[in-house]
Amino acid sequence: MIPSPYPGQRVLVFLACFTAVSIAWAAPDSLMPPEAVRQPVELERELLAPWQAGGEIVIQSRPNGALEAGRRTAPPVDAAEEQERRAEHFALALRLNLVKAYRVVPYVLPLNDDQIRLLERFALSDAGAVWFREMADDTLRLFNQGYLEVDESLWQAHQAGGPRPRLSHLITGRLSEAGLFAQDAAVFRIHAYDGPGSMAAASSIRMGLAGFRCQFQLSGETVDPFAILSHEFGHSRYGDPWSAGLPLGEARTVERYENPVRVRRGFPPRTVYYLRVDPARPAWSRDPLLARILAWKKYRERGLADMAPVEGLYCECPDAPGSLRDCLTGVTAADVAGASGAAPDECSLRWAAVRVAIPETQAGAGP
């Protein structure tokens, strides 16, 4: 993220007027390298800004001949220029971050054409532009460390009077020899896996080859693929990498990274996150709220009193495999009218419903 990338209006006019000639005499200090330390994306604030893609990426050579990448500080002159910057970030990701061929890594499958097209549309959208800018900033960092292989002939052609190559053309998508042996050359990857939905880790996003559902499994709310991708980026190192799979972390991820996208695209904000509890997972967690949820039988008499902001726990019971009941009352939606369920002790927890905070900016939005 670039701090206050756009100076005052008077400076903007000045830069806009001189952009054409500045390429010729750009002093090394006129480019801003990416910040050394990543800051977590504040998506709501970013989406309120006039532009999302950040400064134009430019390559120049240092006095010692080494290449250096940075960004100009001038904002785009119009929407078309902003779109060009977003497209360059997608081109960089396509070169370096999107997995397009089988790799010698288990479970890492290449993205298919539909997934790549979805990612491109996302990269060109406002929220996607923010996340792809962060990925591009990582690429600048790797480039400036000398970790990316470069097509030297393109730079030589430029020095001989040819056009200045874009970074997405200059890099080959492979690591340089230095990058291959560097411990800190962690390229962010977006790849496919066999299954539905999507998942994230600190340095990767996985997209299921079975695609996204149209509705969320339990709530029935409509899925917005862009909001889901933003949610996944929110779990990565560009957002909060400690949030995935935890009740409060997930609710906060929906609030910070998913709902801002949903409400801007005409979907109502999600008010509840359903955390799936894998039957195979250990019955204990370091996270205090998740630990209480997993030990729900112990807390049964007190109901949900110790579990705010959990709204409900849903169980599967041996007398009705495949259907869900309220763990605490043993009652299903279908048998509220009379019949009682199985003894709760025999039931096992499958889902926890966690409330999502809805800030004023998101409340009342959507159709």
Question: Residue with the closest Cβ to Zn ion?
Answer: 250
Using the minimum distance from each CB to Zn ion, give the nearer residue, 250 or 316. Answer: 250
CB neighbours of 114 closer than 8 A, spacing ≥ 6?
211
> At 223, which helix (H) or strand (E)?
none
Closer Cβ to Zn ion, 173 or 309, answer by number: 309
Sequence-distant (6+) residues with CB within 8 A of 353 are 218, 272, 273, 274, 275, 310, 311, 312, 313, 314
Cβ–Cβ < 8 Å for 260, 47: yes
Site string for Zn ion, 195-234 (x = CB under 5 A): ----------------------------------------
Please, which residue, 56 or 250, has the CB nearer to Zn ion? Answer: 250
Task: Tell me how crowded residue 210 is: count the other CB atoms within 10 A of its CB.
Answer: 12
Residue 132 or 274: the one with the smaller Cβ distance to Zn ion is 274
119 vs 356 by CB, closer to Zn ion = 356
**Backbone angles phi and psi of 265, in degrees to 5:** -105, 15
Q: How far is the CB of 322 from Zn ion (least distance, A)?
A: 24
- From 169-177, 248-256, 264-272, 354-362, give the range in contact with Zn ion by CB under 5 A: 248-256
3-state secondary structure (DSSP) of residue 250: helix
Minimum CB distance to Zn ion, residue 280 (Å): 19
CB of 212 to Zn ion, least distance (A): 13
- The structure tokens listed for 104 are 């010698």
Question: What's the one-letter identity of residue 83?
Answer: Q
Which stretch of DSSP H or E encloses residue 92? helix 79-96
Which residues, 6+ apart, have CB-to-CB distance to 357 below 8 Å?
Answer: 251, 252, 255
We find the least distance from the C-beta atom of residue 115 to Zn ion, in angstroms, to be: 18
Query: Measured from the CB of residue 250, what is the shortest distance to Zn ion in angstroms?
Result: 5
Residue 213: CB partners within 8 Å, gap ≥ 6? 196, 197, 223
Could you count the other beta carbons within 10 Å of the beta carbon of residue 142?
A: 23
Shortest CB 30 distance to Zn ion, Å:
40
**Which region among 3-11, 159-167, 246-254, 352-360 touches Zn ion (by CB under 5 A)?**
246-254
Shortest Å, Cβ 243 to Zn ion: 7
Binding-site size for Zn ion (CB under 5 A) equals 1
* 120 vs 250, beta carbon nearer Zn ion: 250
The footprint of Zn ion on residues 304-333 (CB under 5 A) is: none
The piece of 5-13, 78-86, 216-224, 245-253 that touches Zn ion (CB under 5 A) is 245-253
Q: What is the DSSP letter of 165?
A: P
Between 134 and 250, whose beta carbon lies closer to Zn ion?
Answer: 250
Q: By CB under 5 A, which span of 42-50, 212-220, 250-258, 303-311 interacts with Zn ion?
A: 250-258
Instruction: Specify the 3-state DSSP secondary structure of 68.
Output: strand
Pick the piece of the chain touching Zn ion (CB under 5 A) from 17-25, 169-177, 217-225, 247-255: 247-255
Query: Is the N-terminal amide bond of 75 cis, ω within 30° of 0?
Result: no
In the complex, what is the shortest distance from the CB of residue 356 to Zn ion, in angstroms, rounded to a whole number? 12
The residue among 146 and 241 lying less far from Zn ion, judged by its C-beta, is 241
Element (DSSP H or E) covering residue 137:
helix 126-144
Residues in contact with Zn ion by the rule CB under 5 A: 250
